[in-house]
């Protein structure tokens, strides 16, 4: 496998892991860990999609990463 495939696979694994942890009640949707896993996973998947030239997923994962970063950096009350 290429580097892009490895990193893309790692990114998708992080996204799926965060999703599973959220659904099982381990990570809350509003937790920083959940946002961080989504940001990192989507960022890796976005880069991998760019590296293989698949632009629809660059857009999808780029937006996903951006939304997760906003949630991660939002001040907590």
pLDDT in tens, 19-61: 999 999 999 999 999 999 999 999 999 999 999 999 999 999 9
Number of structural domains in the chain = 1
pLDDT category at 76 given cuts 50, 70, 90 is confident
Report H helices in 1-77: 3-23, 32-52, 55-73
Give the pLDDT of residue 5: 95
Positive or negative torsion for Cα 34, 58, 60, 1: negative
Q: What are all long-range contacts of 52-59, with beta carbons under 8 Å and residues at least 24 apart?
A: 52/4, 52/5, 52/8
Closest CA to 71 of 26, 38, 24: 38
pLDDT at 28: 96
For residue 12, the enclosing domain spans 3-73
pLDDT at 57: 96
Tokens read off for 63: 């937006």
Per-residue pLDDT band for 10 (boundaries 50, 70, 90) equals very high
């Amino acid at each position: 496998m290429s580097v892009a495939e490895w990193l893309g696979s790692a990114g998708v694994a992080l996204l799926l892991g965060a999703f599973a942890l959220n659904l099982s009640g381990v990570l809350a949707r509003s937790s920083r860990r959940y946002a961080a896993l989504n940001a990192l996973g989507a960022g890796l998947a976005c880069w991998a999609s760019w590296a293989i030239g698949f632009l629809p997923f660059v857009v999808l994962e780029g937006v996903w990463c951006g939304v997760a970063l906003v949630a991660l950096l939002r001040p907590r009350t």
